[in-house]
Amino acid sequence: MTPIESIYEIKEAVVNLERYMLSKDSVVSKKARMKYEQLVDVFFRGNKGSEATKHRQECLNDHGFFMKLMDEAVEYFYLDE
């Protein structure tokens, strides 16, 4: 799988998790949060050495920022080709 494909898969998973992260059921929201944190970790493992690694903690706290960072990473890959 290419890095771009991986990023798109992560983005899709984050979008699917958003409603569960906002659930009033604490067990559901906690499980969704744990899965979200795993997705953030997968993204950063795949982008070692990039400027993005400085923003891991911010991504864990703000999924909107994480989505924007992934968009920028995809842009970078397209510009680098």
DSSP string, the chain: --HHHHHHHHHHHHHHHHHHHT-SSHHHHHHHHHHHHHHHHHHHHHTTTSGGGGGHHHHHH-HHHHHHHHHHHHHHHHHH-
Q: What is the pLDDT of residue 49?
A: 63
Query: What pTM value is reported for the model?
Result: 0.86
For residue range 42-58, what is the model confidence (pLDDT) as tens digits? 999 887 766 666 788 99
